[in-house]
Amino acid sequence: MKCPKCATEVQAEAVYCHVCGARLDDPLAAADSQAAEAEGKQNFSQRVEVSRAKSDVGEQDLWQGGFSPRAMVGVWILCGVITVVALIATAFLTPVAWMVTIPALLL
C-alpha cells in the first residue's frame, strides 16, 4: 500500500503514513493522489522529450592523434636502469652462502 500524499510504501494495517503523517484511509486524498500521479507521469514524459531534443548534439572528435613509440623511449630507458640497479643491489646484498652450497651439491 502507498501513501496518497508522498507515495511512500506503508504497511497495510497502518492508519497514518510514517513519513509525512497523512491519514491513509481518506478516500478524497486517494482520488487526488491518483489524478496527481497521472498528471505527474504526463509532465515527466513531456520534460524527457524536451530534454532529449535539446541534448541531441552530434559527436565531435576532440583529438586526432596516434600513439608514438618514440614517446616511450625515456620510460624504457628508465625501466632498464632501474632493473640493472636492482640486480646489482640484489647481488651485493644477498648472503654468499647459497654460492657455496651449490658447488657442494654438485659433488
Q: Which DSSP string do the residues of the chain spell out, in sequence order? A: -B-TTT--B--TT-SB-TTT--BTT-HHHHHHHHHHHHHHHHHHHHHHHHHHHHH------S------GGGGHHHHHHHHHHHHHHHHHHHHHS-THHHHHHHHHH-
User: What is the number of domains present in the chain?
Assistant: 2
pTM over 0.85: no
| Cα separation, 55 vs 44, whole angstroms | 16
Q: Please state, rounded to an integer, the average pLDDT across all residues of the chain.
A: 77
At 42 the pLDDT is 77
Query: Do residue 1 and residue 45 come from a single domain?
Result: yes
Whether residue 9 is found in the same domain as residue 49? yes
45 with 74, same domain: the answer is no
Give residue 14's pLDDT. Answer: 86
Domain ranges, residue 88: 70-106
Name the grid cell of 90.
Answer: 640484489
Answer yes or no: is 18 within a domain. Answer: yes
Amino acid 24 reads: L
From CA 45, how far away is CA 52, in angstroms rounded?
Answer: 11
Residue 37 pLDDT > 90, yes or no?
no
Q: Tell whether 89 and 49 lie within a shared domain.
A: no
Does one domain contain both 41 and 85?
no
DSSP codes of every residue in 13-42? T-SB-TTT--BTT-HHHHHHHHHHHHHHHH
